[in-house]
Chain A
Amino acid sequence: MASLSEIASWLQAEVLSGEHLLERRVERAHGCDLMSDVLCYSQQDSILLTGLTNEQAVRTAEVAGMAGMVLVRGKRPSAQMVEMAQQYQLPLLFTRLSMFDACGVLYARGLRGNSHFPAKEGD
């Protein structure tokens, strides 16, 4: 388990929205640029790592019940995307690390993906 605040620090991430929500704690991470897969395979209250910076990425994270979202590869989102994340109370982090490196850092710190958890309905 880690707080979003710790995750932001480990990923040297800038917090673009949801600064007041960084005490949220997560144990699962989901790294994915395919929103269809997020809708299919993610679990509620995970953190989503993605390089996709459009409106649907934020809406997908909101619909899938993500605890927060990390934009990787230094891809800066539009002002509209940040505004949408603020509106949804969705913490949005921004890191220059690649997807692989960001996932690696979180894995080394103890976060895990779905394959490490017993399958539940909807997995």
Chain B
Amino acid sequence: MSSPGDQPEFIQKYPIEGGDFVAAGSVSINVKNLLKGIGFPSPVIRRVAIVAFEAEMNVVMYGGGGELRLFVSPRRIRLEVADQGPGIADLDLAMQEGWSTATPEMRERGFGAGMGLPNMKRNSDRLKIETGPQRGTTVRAEFDIC
């Protein structure tokens, strides 16, 4: 992930409320607007926003709340999204497209297709997930500014 000396110039933290489907996604919109305000290229903003949104929805749906941390430097954007939830029992399985443990409520809202983690991987340049039963989950994603 980040190399030594690649110090972020800017860090922003956003709390994420667990189970709050009405607010779910609002943190990612704030991230997108902030990056837009800084003036990053539109394609990288879209990739960051999509990964942030997928991760935020997972924290809301499964993680019981957590925090999104955004690290911005001129050449790289980094996201850390952490929760204190039950963790992902089988990460290899969860990375497979179509695998999901979503509830009917999540599916009614248009989510839970089992595409979240694979889509995070697809839209980031590097993705690392730390998880385990009763340890919570932390997603770290990096985006290079081309």
Cβ contacts A to B, 29 pairs, < 8 Å: A33-B110, A34-B113, A36-B111, A36-B112, A36-B113, A37-B115, A38-B110, A39-B53, A39-B115, A39-B119, A40-B119, A44-B46, A55-B22, A55-B24, A56-B21, A56-B57, A56-B109, A56-B110, A59-B29, A59-B53, A62-B29, A62-B32, A63-B28, A63-B49, A63-B50, A65-B49, A88-B29, A122-B47, A122-B122
Assess whether A39 is in contact with B25, with CB atoms less than 8 Å apart.
no
How many B residues have CB within 8 A of the partner chain? 29
- Pick the 7 closest A-B CB pairs, nearest first: A35-B110, A59-B25, A36-B113, A36-B115, A63-B53, A63-B49, A40-B119
B44 to chain A, nearest CB (A): 11
Residues of B at the A interface (CB closer than 8 Å) are: 21-22, 24-26, 28-29, 32, 42-43, 46-47, 49-50, 52-54, 57, 109-116, 119, 122-123
Closest to B100 in A: A36
Closest to A32 in B: B110
Assess whether B116 is in contact with A63, with CB atoms less than 8 Å apart.
no
Q: Which chain A residues (48-67) contact chain B, with CB distance < 8 Å?
A: 52, 54-57, 59-60, 62-65
In the assembled complex, which residues on chain A have CB atoms less than 8 Å from the CB atom of B119? 36, 39-40
B42 to chain A, nearest CB (A): 7
Assess whether B111 is in contact with A35, with CB atoms less than 8 Å apart.
yes
In the assembled complex, which residues on chain A have CB atoms less than 8 Å from the CB atom of B109? 35, 52, 54, 56
